[in-house]
Amino acid sequence: MNIKIASAQYDISFLKNWQQYQDKVERWVDEAVQQEAKILLFPEYASMELASLFSKAVYSSLSEQLVAMQPLLEDYLRLFYGLAKKYQCIIQPGTFPVKIASGAYRNRAYLFMPGQYDYQDKLMMTRFENERWLIQHGEHLKCFDTEYGKIAINICYDSEFPLLARKQVEAGAKLILVPSCTDTLAGFHRVKIGCQARALENQCFVVQASLVGDAPWSEAVDVNVGAAAIYTPVDRGFPDNGILAEGKLNAVQWVVADLSLSACETVREQGQVFNYRDWPLHETFQLRGSKE
């Protein structure tokens, strides 16, 4: 089955009110659906533009904006739940910092399908999140059942740790969504390289979305550098460089492409190499000293 996926290079706005946010998000969704996309991916921390709805004292404070945004969560969930149902598509809207019952914050990526939704929390936290923003890691790794097959989410830095994706593909995922937010070229390339490596070693599709543009008013997402892309196995039947589609660096745009999840099974069985199949073999080798 061929499926069209759209990955966003999404810019942070300074919002006047909730309606402006709602209109912006629906405009983005409508544009992707007009291109026949059925799965839509937004970047990590795309929701942080909502902090602009509050006073300067709030959006200039890393801690205060987390507190202030919590009452907006229900409206946020209602908005994307409604859009997924209205447009009959799957939407991963990036991440929202959610306060859980213990009082801790999680960087949470929701996955909305028509009539239902679930979420994946970020598991590997960056120094900024851990040391300055005090957002803590989640506890569970998930794999989601959808009408197109199993889909997984690696949130930005998570994509740089191969065993997370490996567990998800072993559970059946052939598509990994990577919402990302990076403030340097080096950071962007770390995530990009991680995504390409995950696609290579698991012979699956990995899709990256990026937050782009500057938001000098924001203490959290003031500088954003990146590009969206759709990565593939590097083998027969796929692009030689493993890149099915990619956007222009820092442009505001959708990156859209058709992909066939069944092609993953084909390359795993008939490819020039068998990265997915051979994975267990490399775990059998033990490191020994040169004199042993």
Given a contact cutoff of 8 angstroms between Cβ atoms, the answer to whether 159 and 197 are in contact is no
Please confirm, yes or no, whether 156 is among the known catalytic residues. Answer: yes
Q: Which residue has the tokens 């937050």?
A: 211
Q: Which two tokens stand for residue 98?
A: 């959610």
Q: In whole angstroms, what is the distance from residue 6 CA to residue 175 CA?
A: 13
Please confirm, yes or no, whether 122 is among the known catalytic residues. Answer: yes
How do beta strands 175-180 and 149-153 pair?
A: parallel
Q: Which two tokens stand for residue 69?
A: 């945004």
DSSP-assigned letters across all residues of 84-118:
HHHHT-EEE--EEEEE-TTS-EEEEEEEEETTEEE
Catalytic residue among 122, 129, 219, 264, which? 122
Query: By three-state DSSP, how is residue 125 classified?
Result: coil
Q: In whole angstroms, what is the distance from residue 64 CA to residue 60 CA?
A: 8
End-to-end CA separation in angstroms for the chain? 52
Which pairs from 246-251 meet CB under 8 Å and 24+ separation?
247/7, 247/9, 247/210, 249/225, 250/9, 250/212, 250/213, 250/225, 250/226, 251/9, 251/212, 251/227
Residues in the chain: 292
Residue 6's CB is within 10 A of a number of other CB atoms, namely: 29
Catalytic residue among 38, 89, 156, 204, which? 156
The residues that are catalytic are 44, 122, 156
